[in-house]
Amino acid sequence: MQITAIVPQLPPAIDGVGDYALRLASQLQQDFGLSSRFIVGNPDWQNTPAIAPFPAQAVSLRTSADLIAQLEQFVMPDSTLLLHYVPHGYATKACPFWLVQGLETWRKRFPQIRFLTFFHELYALDWHRPWSSDFWLSPVQQHLTSRLAQLSDACLTSTERYIHPIRRLSQGKQTEIPTLPIFSNVGELADVQPLTQRQRHLIIFGQRHSKRRIYQASLPLLKQVCQALAIETILDIGPPSGITPVHVNGVPLQELGKRPLNEISAILAQAFAGFLTYDPRRLSKSGIFAAYSAHGLLPINHRGCIQSVDGLTTGTHYWVPPTTPTLNMQKAQAIATAAYTWYQAHNLAAQTEKFHRYLKETNEAA
């Protein structure tokens, strides 16, 4: 069996979904001998040696005709087509008509080839803000997601919160929808050092926009965290935010910029805690939270939620300073251990095995 995956981006572009798809393909090949090839939905993407040994080609234009031509060239009779869907990755306003229309036409021509969709996102979540375009485009985005859910032979997603919407939008076609929380794109540790043996470093890791959000809205919280944990240095990893402070309440901040994956992993392995501002109902979708958990850090989020979601509980798997201002070492270690343990059930090897089993089952059911 061969897999042809459609992705919004691949390296060298910085894209969490593309990184996820590439690491999954590598592990499927290593563990089960499954070969993969990629169709990239961004015409500006340029192939690099980092993608080897996987054949990959970008669409020339974002049109249904160009996509169909790529599919007819890349998808073999024994292939499974896998779409990694995040709407804003395929269209500026998160309305990728060209993608959906192209897939619908192609499926009519080749109905015997299995088609799976991994819904990393469904549609924009800030539709309730009248000043945003998503407020007006949400019905269109949901309509396109509905068409994809009905078109797919099977669907997967990274959070249980998406299961009911996918069922509803598929109009009953999708009943069994596996959830696979995101694994770390910067490596994992088989053994982690206890917090008592780590440097008092606080990690801020992510893209420019996420770090700007931290520095603009969460500086008072950062100051509280640094004081409560006796942080000695803050390490900023990733593209520069443009507004990074030199220090936070007297704690020096080092802007490390982009680093190789193995170097990031080594930095995380020695750090005490990692900070992020992410919707607590969707933490299982966060590659940053996965990276912190996989390396045994104390994960810190700016807020929590009342109910447990995807097996994650506020105060058990991550610290929320506004609700628990102080934290002793024993509790900090308990949270870091719980997050690391939670991660092991869907680490790269475990998730690859589940993915392979699911691919096998869906193909046998065809």
- Please give the Cα distance from 274 to 272 (Å, whole number): 7
Residue 129 has pLDDT above 80, yes or no: no
Predicted local distance difference test score (pLDDT) of residue 351: 93
Which one is predicted more confidently, 86 or 50? 86
Q: 14-40: per-residue pLDDT in tens?
A: 788 999 999 999 999 999 999 999 999
Q: Which two tokens stand for residue 344?
A: 């092991």
The phi, psi pair for 91, rounded to 5°, reads -160, 145
Residue 310 has pLDDT above 80, yes or no: yes
- Please give the Cα distance from 109 to 321 (Å, whole number): 55
Residue 128 has pLDDT above 60, yes or no: no
H/E stretch holding 257: strand 251-257
DSSP 176: -
In our burial notation (b when 16+ CB lie closer than 10 A, e otherwise), range 287-310 reads bbbbbbbbbbbbbbbbebbeeebb
Query: Roughly what angle, to the nearest 10 degrees, separates helices 287-294 and 261-270?
Result: 60
Nearest of 123, 136, 133, 75 to residue 102 by alpha carbon? 75
Residue 127 has pLDDT above 50, yes or no: no
Which are the contacts of 135, defined by CB distance < 8 A and separation ≥ 6? 126, 127, 128, 129
Which one is predicted more confidently, 2 or 101? 101
What is the amino acid identity at position 324?
T
Average pLDDT of the chain, as a whole number? 92
- Please give the Cα distance from 152 to 155 (Å, whole number): 7
All domains in the chain, ordered by first residue = 2-180+347-364 (3.40.50.2000), 195-344 (3.40.50.2000)
Predicted local distance difference test score (pLDDT) of residue 166: 96
Residue 58 has pLDDT above 70, yes or no: yes
Residue 323 has pLDDT above 70, yes or no: yes
Predicted local distance difference test score (pLDDT) of residue 76: 87
What is the average per-residue pLDDT within 123-136?
61
What is the average per-residue pLDDT within 172-194?
94
- Please give the Cα distance from 251 to 231 (Å, whole number): 7
Predicted local distance difference test score (pLDDT) of residue 224: 94
Q: 174-183: per-residue pLDDT in tens?
A: 999 999 999 9
What is the amino acid identity at position 87?
P
**Which stretch of 45-49, 94-98, 298-302 has the lowest confidence by average pLDDT?**
45-49
Strand partners of residue 119: 85, 157
Residue 363 has pLDDT above 60, yes or no: yes
H/E stretch holding 97: helix 97-109
What is the average per-residue pLDDT within 87-112?
95
Predicted local distance difference test score (pLDDT) of residue 51: 80
Which are the contacts of 168, defined by CB distance < 8 A and separation ≥ 6? none
294 within 8 A of 347, measured Cβ to Cβ? yes
Tokens 């990393």, located at residue: 120
The phi, psi pair for 285, rounded to 5°, reads -90, -10
Sheet containing strand 154-157, strands side by side: 56-58, 35-40, 2-7, 79-85, 114-119, 154-157
3-state SS string over 285-334? HCHHHHHHHHCCCEEEECCCCCCCECCECECCCEECCCCCCCCCHHHHHH
Give the three-class secondary structure for 219.
helix
- Please give the Cα distance from 226 to 161 (Å, whole number): 33
**Which stretch of 112-121, 230-239, 259-268, 353-362 has the lowest confidence by average pLDDT?**
353-362
What is the average per-residue pLDDT within 258-275?
96
